[in-house]
Structure 1
Amino acid sequence: MSRSSARIDTKKVNSELVTLTYGALVAQMVKDLDNVDDVSKQLERLGYNMGIRLIEDYLAKTNTGVQPNVANWSAAGDEFSFILDTNPLTELVELPDDLKGLKYCNTICGIIRGALEMVQMDVQSWIVQDQLKGDSNTEIRVKFIRRLEDAIPAGED
């Protein structure tokens, strides 16, 4: 038997697998909860839990990730935007008209909030622009609220 000379791009396969799996998760949540605002809240909560437990380990082991541009700093220096020119979670996605209110990538906001809480920073994070809604890029706004002091990280005793 001879080996095929065509090579499989595992990074592309992994990216597509994540995209399709995430899409299936969101679709199931829409069916189960039947309210896009509730789905958006649950996606943010899911991301928050991921940020607390997984993001550091994931990035350290896989050496992958999206490279956002940091822009639009507030005058007080406590708020900025992450600008994503491409968003792998939305590559194969088109929202139907009845789900236009869904914050499909709200998981990313939760990841940011959860990861920063683990390094003692309380932040708010929300989507300002969304490629799924016709914007040229995805913009996620992050606002520093306060530094958490003498706090035990979530899940730790």
Structure 2
Amino acid sequence: MEFCANKLSFRGYNIGTRLVDEFLAKSNVSRCVDFKETADVIAKLGFKMFLGVTATVTNWDAEGTSCSFVLEDNPLVDFVELPDTCQGLQYCNVLSGVIRGALEMVSMKTEVTWVRDMLRGDDAYEMRVKLTKQVPEEYPYKDDD
């Protein structure tokens, strides 16, 4: 099951690295100043643009480097029912990969884990996003004045 979950996350990561360009082109969002603002933009605009739902950003840590995205609805699972033999499968890992891939493209290395999943009987979908490293932007050329 873990192999499948990792594959889903990897596929999601690849999707996220490509979706960020489309998001930036269509949303007209200016550069976010910090991780908190970035999380808010993802929750309100990113989820709405690509999934048709919004997420709530909660449970911030004191440093402002870790939060939870809570979704009350997840269209990826509308017609999914996991059999008993697949209860260990992290079906929604594709979303955690998308978040990780998109954030990496804007210079933020993150860890994304699922905390709650309605497919497993929880009352909502909740993923925990932790900023592990803010990567300084590198430009491919040197600006000679």
Q: Same fold (TM over 0.5)?
A: yes
Paired residue type of 2:2: D
Given the alignment, which residue of 97, 103, 117 partners 1:110? 97
Structure 1: gaps of 5 or more residues: 1-35, 153-157
Counterpart of 2:44? none
Given the alignment, which residue of 18, 36, 49 partners 1:53? 18
TM-score (norm 1): 0.69
Secondary structure in structure 1 of the residue aligned to 2:129: strand
Structure 2: gaps of 5 or more residues: 28-47, 140-145
Counterpart of 1:101? 88
The answer to whether structure 1 residue 133 and structure 2 residue 120 are counterparts is yes
Q: Percent identity?
A: 42
Counterpart of 2:59? 72
TM-score (norm 2): 0.74
Secondary structure in structure 2 of the residue aligned to 1:54: helix
Query: Which of 1 and 2 has greater Rg?
Result: 1
Cα deviation, residue 91, structure 1: 1.2
In 2, Cα distance between equivalents of 1:143 and 1:58: 21
Give the number of equivalent residue pairs: 118
The answer to whether structure 1 residue 38 and structure 2 residue 3 are counterparts is yes
Paired residue type of 1:57: E
In 1, Cα distance between equivalents of 2:134 and 2:6: 24
Specify whether residues 120 and 55 from structure 1 end up closer, same or farther in structure 2 by C-alpha distance, changes over 3 A only.
Answer: closer
